[in-house]
Amino acid sequence: MAATIITTDDLYEFKIELLEDLKALLSKETENRTRKWLKSPEVRELLGISHGTLQNLRINGTLPYSKVGGVLYYDYQDIIKVIENSKIHNKIKTKGL
């Protein structure tokens, strides 16, 4: 196994690339937060859910949506409300305390 030497220049280049990647991710997240309406693929990516799960959220009325010309739109604030309303507060019971 050959040894690889990392120089200060290599670390600097890595830092620059990492910062650029982080900026891109943050700007994408900020863009989603500033837009009022999101399409289905954006909602699935935001929530990390499948097409079927998103469909179930629509069918059972958990997530409101609007349909214009065959395209489904979701209000960003409604998505946030669904997440906040789904919070689970577990109470841990300990013995002897």
**Whether pLDDT at 57 is above 90:** yes
14 is a domain residue = no
pLDDT tens across 68-97, in order? 999 999 999 999 999 888 888 777 766 665
Q: Would 44 be classed as within a structural domain? A: yes
Tell me, yes or no, whether 5 lies in a domain.
Answer: no
> What does the pLDDT look like over 41-53, one tens digit per residue?
999 998 999 999 9
pLDDT of residue 85: 87
The pLDDT score that the predictor gives to residue 31 is 64
Q: Is residue 7, in this structure, part of any structural domain at all?
A: no
Domain total for the chain? Answer: 1
Write the CA distances from 69 to 31, 42, 66, integer angstroms.
24, 18, 10
Domain that holds residue 57: 31-86
Within 8 A by CB and 6+ apart from 27, the residues are none
Q: Is the pTM of this model over 0.75?
A: no
Read off the tokens for 50.
Answer: 């499948």
